Structure 1
């Protein structure tokens, strides 16, 4: 389920709660349903559920299939009651989805090697440990979880300010609507991230930025009501379409942010808010989004 098609998902909030010993085996995902009218509802879901008795199901996201586990009746019924229609909560477990877009730079894509000092720093929205997200280099057979197209989405805080500039003075764009897990502050200009190819943190972690993130109507959702927004905040997608349709692979969709993968050998390393970041490589040209079915690249046809 994607919020662009089911905007009421904006009323569902989740946070991970660890026990005192920080053991993930006893941790839980705390779900809170916050409707605009009526009382909130809460539910705890095991972070690492026992899958022995769970039914296996098949899940396909953006034409990328995987196996998963159907959580128990308690969880499914709770979600169905909140949303108002039958819903299944699926646990990915040890399974993975294939990445269908290019994760290597094309051989004809010129790159500029960067040197010198620190450019900027990480501000927020970071996972605790990169090693729990993905293991290794950006190979053609990369795998991902239930993340959209890549394990990391890197955005430039200066670009967020440019989006807010398009709204009335009393309004600011909510960064969570762009769903980043890495926000870089201190960049010299907005939208320069379009050309970022590789980042390196002060702790030595490398991130390969391989594709643009093209945007949809999810930007217009009002998180307070779970419905399409009213007023200027409900027109953010249209405002960005005026000058941010810069990816030839999705010419009608504006770009905000870059999909990224962890560098080889960086499994288990950590990032933290405030880490300094260097842009170590830049592309001379913008990359072209090519995930089949959600870009101009067609899905393969059966022979």
Structure 2
């Protein structure tokens, strides 16, 4: 079965609900519109769904001028893209940079949605944030994604993981949807875990480097429809996908082409690969 692009997902606000789209422009720092907005606390540090589970219930929708956001028990709210001439310091993991503040009204709306003080910021210039030099090139850049511009996952790997989840629970646990893993692109037609060995792939006319496996965190254990945390999929990943003290699902990508549009149904070709038996690319220990 030939490989193909099964779905495309972008996440306008980091850690909030994503959008499924039929096509997307590939920019150097990720898909157009993906994770350009982020919530920060009063000190400017990123707020993510790891600690603020309610973020997963916030539904942002990109507009020509900014965002429309919705959340349970709150009216929808329209946010304009802020003026980039005003900047505020923010930090995300090891990155320290500046972003444009969305303003007090947006901050008040998100603070109500999260039940804690929060400020919304916009990354007007993604060239400010470099990727990890250990797994990328000096000129590689990323928006407010955790570390790299895109995440790829495969339908076959999710099916293999769900087989384990269902078997371990004796059928009591339903298979998990791909939304638990928040990938940007999902590939159909591969063998399970084949992506571990990918080094360069082509999706339509866009070429990507596969630079690092994705170590999974507690966000995958939070039901995106209820914000309730459970043990899966980390419990089952720990049995079949544990290396170096972490569990792994999906692979981080860096674009080598920019300005190209990818579309659902595009042909996918593996340009360079190694045998996947050693697991994903990961830090040396």
TM category (shorter chain) comes to 0.7 to 0.9
- SS of 1:260's equivalent? strand
Q: Which has the higher strand share?
A: 2
1:253 corresponding residue in structure 2: 246
CA distance in 2, matches of 1:41, 1:240: 38
2:71 pairs, out of 33, 39, 49, with 33
Contact 1:155–1:180, Cα closer than 8 Å, also in 2: yes
Corresponding residue number in structure 1 for 2:274: 283
User: 2-side partners of 1:272 and 1:16: how far apart?
Assistant: 18
Residue in 1 aligned with 2:118? Answer: 87
Distance 2:62 2:102 in 1: 17
2-structure distance, mates of 1:92, 1:12: 19
Matched, 1:200 2:202: yes
Larger Rg: 1
| Equivalent of 1:69 in 84, 97, 100 | 100
Matched residue, 2:4: none
> Where does residue 43 of structure 1 map in the other structure?
77
Counterparts of residues 75-154 of structure 1 (less than 5 Å): 75-95=106-126, 96-104=128-136, 139-154=137-152
Q: Distance in 2 between matches of 1:186 and 1:155?
A: 12
The alignment's TM-score, normalised by the length of structure 1, stands at 0.71
Q: How many equivalent residue pairs? A: 231
Q: What is the deviation of 1:267?
A: 1.6
User: CA-to-partner distance for each residue in 1:35-89, whole Å, 9 max, x for gaps?
Assistant: xxxx34311222x33234x4x2221212112111222110000111121111010
Q: Which residue of 1 aligns with 2:262?
A: 271
Q: Secondary structure at the match of 2:119?
A: coil
Deviations 1:217-264 (A, max 9, x none): 1111122332313xxxx3321111011013xxxx1211111100111x
Correspondence for 1:238: 235
Secondary structure of 1:226's match? coil
- Measured in 2, the distance between the counterparts of 1:169 and 1:27 equals 45
CA drift at 1:170: 6.6
| Equivalent position SS for 1:142 | coil
CA distances 1:195-219 after superposition (whole Å, capped 9, x unpaired): 1111113x43211101000001111
| Structure 1 segments unaligned to the other structure (5+ residues) | 18-25, 105-138, 291-295, 298-303
* Cα shift at 1:163: 2.0
Q: CA 1:239 to 1:286, structure 2 compared with 1: closer, same or farther past 3 Å?
A: closer
Q: What is the aligned-residue RMSD (CA, Å)?
A: 2.0
Q: Cα deviations across residues 117-155 of structure 1 (Å, max 9, x unaligned)?
A: xxxxxxxxxxxxxxxxxxxxxx22422111111111011
Asked if the contact 2:215/2:247 (under 8 Å) is kept, the reply is: yes
Match of 2:40 in 1: none
| SS of match in other structure, 2:236 | helix
